[in-house]
Amino acid sequence: MKYNDALFLKTVRDFLTIYLPKQRKFSENTIRSYRMSLSLFFDYLKNEKGVSIQKLSFNHLNSENVSGFLAWLQSERGNSDTSCNQRLMAIRSFVKYAAISDPANIYLQAEIEKVPVRKCQSKVVEFFSDNALKALLEQPDRAKKTGLRNSCFMILMYDTGARCQEILDLRIKDLVLNEKSPYVYLTGKGNKTRTVPLMEKTVHHLNLYLNRFHPEGQRNREDYLFFTIIHQQRCTMSPDTVAAFLKKYADQARHSCADIPESVHPHQFRHTRAISWYRNGVPLILVSELLGHADINTSQIYAYADTEMKRKAISKALGDNSSNFQKDDVSRWEGDDELIKKLFALS
């Protein structure tokens, strides 16, 4: 292995093991995403360009290779524009670190900047109707151990509006159930911790789960709240396990509830809870804090989704003919010009 090749791989190692965790203080999940992005890029260079990992150098970080990599992600792996942009941002971050480590690499930043960020279409917020949520939560057989676990997982994920990984990362010590106002500590992106209150019913289900899976005499505060058993050993429950039981319950619930979406995923519980908070008068800034959003603008999608739904409901009730609009239909929103504009598709 040539010196320059070894230097490249050493820079990769330092980026992942020193710069991201110790200097930038990124979370394990973020570092894992960056590692996966670089690993996929190296796989692309090996499989499509014939460059083995031992021969990788800074010269391979050019706009042609990165553009080809993004196209490969879409054609061969079916990645969305959003996923491609995430991979591109990881490579840009690495190139920036390479330039910090050695000013001779500054030219790499200009080279990678030539690769444009892909324009993504705005996503529609996917959330469950009341009927769909109720039908899903009714599916687990709580008499069975896994049914009780899966039921508690879904209830907790909905009540807290947490990301799936945040629930998977929970340890017993993160639950505060014996206070007058119970709550849970959630650790989100950037290792930022927030507290989210728990409903009384959720606490009840959590206590049933704890008594079954973490008996009082054997309870260790450092243990993960949710786990799976593999070869008689406790292992952290994976997102794939969650995806599997959600698909199973969605397929079952679809027989009795037509509102169940074709595809059910954990983030829909988060969106559903956010919409519920907003509809029940929780200020958007507090919704943003409960969800762990770094920027309140990220939470604006819930205000739009709720307003858009009202607009469609009014349009359906009044018909498409503008002559059907009556004075009373506007007066009920008097004093809220922005809401009126949104409800009647003027903004």
Residues 90 and 160 in one domain: no
Is 284 inside a domain boundary? no
Tokens of 267: 């983030």
Is 105 inside a domain boundary? yes
In the prediction, which pLDDT does 70 show? 96
Residues 20 and 74 in one domain: yes
Residues 246 and 339 in one domain: no
Q: Which long-range contacts (CB under 8 A, 24 or more apart) does 30-39 make?
A: 30/189, 30/190, 33/86, 33/90, 34/90, 34/93, 34/94, 37/86, 37/87, 37/90, 37/91, 38/12, 38/90, 38/91, 38/94
The number of domains in the chain is 3
Residues 90 and 152 in one domain: no
Is 118 inside a domain boundary? no
In the prediction, which pLDDT does 345 show? 39
Residues 83 and 191 in one domain: no
Residues 92 and 205 in one domain: no
Is 176 inside a domain boundary? yes
State how far the alpha carbon of 251 is from the alpha carbons of 115, 124, 242, 247, 255, in Å: 42, 22, 14, 6, 7
Residues 157 and 217 in one domain: yes
Q: How far out from the chain centre does Cα 167 lie?
A: 11
Is 296 inside a domain boundary? no
Residues 16 and 50 in one domain: yes
CA atoms lying within 13 Å on the CB side of residue 212? 18
Q: List all residues 6 or more positions away from 301 whose beta carbon is below 8 Å from its beta carbon.
A: 125
Of 264, 289, 320, the last residue of a domain is: 264
pLDDT in 10s for each residue of the chain, 347 residues: 454 557 899 999 999 999 999 999 888 888 999 999 999 999 999 999 999 888 899 999 999 999 999 999 999 999 988 899 999 999 999 999 999 999 999 999 999 999 999 886 656 678 899 999 999 999 999 999 999 999 999 999 999 999 999 999 999 999 999 988 999 999 988 788 999 999 999 999 999 999 999 999 889 999 999 999 888 888 889 999 999 999 999 999 999 999 999 999 999 999 999 988 988 888 888 888 889 887 777 777 776 665 555 555 545 555 544 333 333 433 333 455 554 444 333 43
Domain containing residue 205: CATH number: 1.10.443.10
pTM more than 0.85: no
Residues 227 and 327 in one domain: no
Q: What angle do CA 259, 260, 266 make, to 5 degrees?
A: 135
3-state secondary structure of 339: helix
Residues 175 and 206 in one domain: yes
Is 120 inside a domain boundary? no
Domain hosting residue 307, numbered range: 301-343
Kindly state the greatest CA–CA separation across the chain. 79
Is 310 inside a domain boundary? yes
Is 41 inside a domain boundary? yes
Residues 94 and 185 in one domain: no
In the prediction, which pLDDT does 323 show? 37
3-state secondary structure 146-187: HHHHHHHHHHHHHHHCCCHHHHHCCEHHHEECCCCCCEEEEE
7, 105 in Cβ contact below 8 A?
no
Residues 164 and 246 in one domain: yes
Domain containing residue 56: CATH number: 1.10.150.130
Of 264, 291, 314, the last residue of a domain is: 264
Of 264, 291, 318, the last residue of a domain is: 264
Residue type, 318: L
Alpha-carbon gap, residue 264 to 12, rounded angstroms: 37
List % helix, strand, coil for the chain (3-state, nearest 5): 65, 5, 30
Alpha-carbon gap, residue 125 to 304, rounded angstroms: 9
